[in-house]
Amino acid sequence: MTTTSDPTPADRPPSVDALARSLADTGLPHPLLVDAAREAIAAGAPESARGVADGIAGALLRPVVNATGVLLHTNLGRAPLATTTTGRATNLEFDLALGERGSRTVHAGGLLARSIGAEEAIVVNNCAAAVLLALAALARGRAAAVSRGELVEIGGGFRVPDVMDQSGARLVEVGTTNRTRIADYEAVVDDDLALVLKVHRSNYTISGFTEETAVRDLAQLPVPVVVDLGSGLLDAACPWLEGGPPAWLQDEPAAKQTLAEGADLVLFSGDKLLGGPQAGIIAGRADLVRACAKHPLYRAFRPGGLVLSALQDVATAYLARTAGQLPFWRMATADAVALRSRAEAIVADTGTGVVIDCASVPGGGTLPSVEIPSVGIALDGDRVASLRSHRTPVIARVVEGRTVLDLRTVEPADDPLVAAAITSP
Ligand SMILES: *Cc1c(COP(=O)(O)O)cnc(C)c1O
């Protein structure tokens, strides 16, 4: 058998196995190195095998530095969050007091319910699953009323009418695109109407001659009111932030207040303004939450212990009012003065680029017209591909012919990575 130390005669292609073994230092498992070697040999360019292997390694899930200024970048995993696991068994579904099967809704779900004044809460994989499950469990074979101004597409194929279809609920459109009044909902109340679904217009605004019906008014209807909040702001007062709610959060509906106004259920994401792992939360009236938990789709949509454990930590932080230290909130509220001195330090260290004022955005399909003043570094020309190819990829964007790195979305501890990436050739 050929070994890596054997010189390969120029007139004979190396064996796949030898070439694969010569790439062992990439850290990829052997079968993937064999794939890389085969591809390179088939292309008649065995020397390209390392590049192919690097490409395979680069496509694996790994940390990147988000210098885009988009706080909740869906392509970059939305809210960043550190997690730890012990590698041990957990009481995921085990009641330690009784020594019998327990419920996976009591820990993270219980704490989240506590933090927003809900009777109960359960957790599913994302908010899209929460909407589908709530409709399937509460309105299958019956009617669900939605304002024509809220028949939205959230992105990634999540369109309210399609989700409604999949749930088996019949969509009853009420009102008009720009104005929907309580009388429009009242007109469709009958024995067949199972609920009203109110959908937060997370990713677009309508302005001008508009009117929407407040949750407070919808709560007077004789059917449950389910509110798809999407973004997952827990409490409009933001008691976890020293300075209270930032101005850009104005008008963003929050779970606690929406329930207090009379919503029977609220649905929201774990990885948007909550700042946690990807998850969807269904919270509110106990009988409705339980109906969702009993539905067969819950079994299909429930997250595992990794997510629930991370979400429990996040919920605990909110209850302890330390959620301001979650990466999302820390970045979102970072002071521009601090960002400027970091940018100046990087520019001074590297002798590259200039410090600029820029604007971050919440992203993740939330707060469509909000910009948060920020500070970054501008480099001449389009450098995004080379920044992306760095050992720890740095993701930036091009604005008017310059490459902009927004420091708001960069962990301060990652500044040296940014500096290394911008000076590497
Ligand atoms: C983002 C969003 C969703 C989808 O949430 P995911 O957690 O991404 O599935 C649903 N509804 C609204 C209103 C949203 O903003």
Give which of 319, 294, 292 is closest to 112, Cα–Cα: 319
The amino acid present at 344, given as its one-letter code, is: E
Say how far apart CA 206 and CA 201 lie, in whole Å: 9
Q: Is 200 in the pocket of ligand 1 (CB under 6 A)?
A: yes
Question: How far away, in angstroms, is 70 Cα from ligand 1 center?
Answer: 17
**Cα 98 to Cα 157: distance, rounded to the nearest angstrom:** 44
Q: In terms of Cα–Cα distance, which of 146, 156, 155, 202 is closest to 177?
A: 146
| Residue bearing the CA closest to ligand 1, atom 2 | 230
CB of 230 closer than 6 angstroms to any ligand 1 atom:
yes
Asked if residue 228 has its Cβ within 6 Å of ligand 1, the reply is yes
Q: Quick check: helix, strand or coil at residue 209?
A: coil
What are the pLDDT tens digits along the chain (425 aa)?
Answer: 444 444 455 556 679 999 999 999 999 999 999 999 999 999 999 999 999 999 999 999 999 999 999 999 999 999 999 998 889 999 999 999 999 999 998 999 999 999 999 999 999 999 999 999 999 999 999 999 999 999 988 777 789 999 999 999 999 999 998 999 999 999 999 999 999 999 998 877 888 888 899 999 999 999 999 999 999 999 999 999 999 999 999 889 999 999 999 999 999 999 999 999 999 999 999 999 999 999 999 999 999 999 999 999 999 999 999 999 999 999 999 999 999 999 999 999 999 999 999 999 998 878 888 999 999 999 999 999 999 999 899 999 999 999 999 999 999 999 999 999 999 87
C-beta 193 within 6 A of ligand 1: no
For the Cβ of 94 lying below 6 angstroms from any atom of ligand 1, the answer is no
220 in Cβ contact with 241 (< 8 Å): no
Q: What is the DSSP letter of 230?
A: E
Counting atoms of ligand 1 from 1, which one is nearest the CA of 269?
7
Q: Are strands 402-406 and 372-380 parallel, antiparallel or unpaired?
A: antiparallel
- Tell me how far CA of residue 253 lies from CA of 91, 151, 233, 258, 420, in angstroms: 34, 18, 7, 7, 41
| The residue to which tokens 């070697």 are assigned | 37
Neighbours of 128 (CB within 10 A): 21
Predicted TM-score (pTM) of the model is 0.93
